[in-house]
Amino acid sequence: MNKAPRAAALHEISLAEALIARRSTRRFSDEPVDLNQVRAAIEAACLAPSPHGTAPWRFCILSSPEAKMKLAEDMGRDFLRDMAREGVSEEEREKRHAGSIRLLTGAPVIILAALSYDDLDDYEEPEKQAHERMMAEHSLGAALQNLMLALTAQGVGSVWRCAPLFCPETAREALDLPADWVPRALIAAGTPASAPPPKEIPAPEIIIR
């Protein structure tokens, strides 16, 4: 994959515009998404920093109804099981489950983001190895921000969902992904069904020494 994004739209919007325009979109219109826009956004994701330049990110694009439904149903069973164990009421379980199915199957495109730890440095000390993997997790967050900003630059709405964190094996098996892929996040993408409300920028907590 080339490192430089090819979509012209990515060169025609300022960083400030993309940062301000990006919102979490949870309801999408039926308008299809050009997969070239998705590929360009993934290229932008791959401009993020990563531990030792290993680029540990992996992406699976789900555009077919069958793939989206398979993933939603398989992860949904785990979701229902976990909520039951946590003591969530049956009514609330069904409500949350239905909302999750609706989002994953209603979005024109789902981008599953995964990590591969194969190229990371190996350490004998468990704590150092955990830190090495945490660097990969940090880099995935940076990659996903790039991805969503690039989608915004092309007029595509998106929302980040962390469901695969709780059932990585289920997500990997549902999509028949390589064994070294560890699913970590989903980005649902499409044309927003309505304009998202304005977002108040939270005041950061900053300490200067």
Q: What is the pTM of this model?
A: 0.89
> Residue 193 above 60 pLDDT?
yes
Asked if the model's pLDDT at residue 3 lies above 50, the reply is no
Within a domain: 203: no
In a domain, 200, yes or no: no
CATH number of the structural domain spanning residue 158: 3.40.109.10
Q: Are 8 and 170 in contact (CB under 8 A)?
A: no
| 37 lies in some domain | yes
Q: Model confidence over 43-79: pLDDT tens digits?
A: 999 999 999 999 999 999 999 999 999 999 999 999 9
Per-chain mean pLDDT for the chain: 92
Residue 196 lies in a domain: no
The whole domain housing 151 covers 15-190
Number of domains in the chain: 1
For residue 207, is it within any domain? Answer: no
pLDDT grade for 6, boundaries at 50, 70 and 90: low
8 domain-assigned: no
Digit-coded pLDDT (tens) for 71-106: 999 999 999 999 999 999 999 999 999 999 999 999
Using pLDDT thresholds of 50, 70 and 90, give the confidence band for residue 7.
low
**pLDDT of 34 above 70:** yes
pLDDT at 151 over 70: yes
Q: Is residue 7, in this structure, part of any structural domain at all?
A: no
Instruction: Provide the token pair at 168.
Output: 């990585």
Segment 186-205 shows an average pLDDT of 88
- pLDDT value for 157: 94
In a domain, 205, yes or no: no
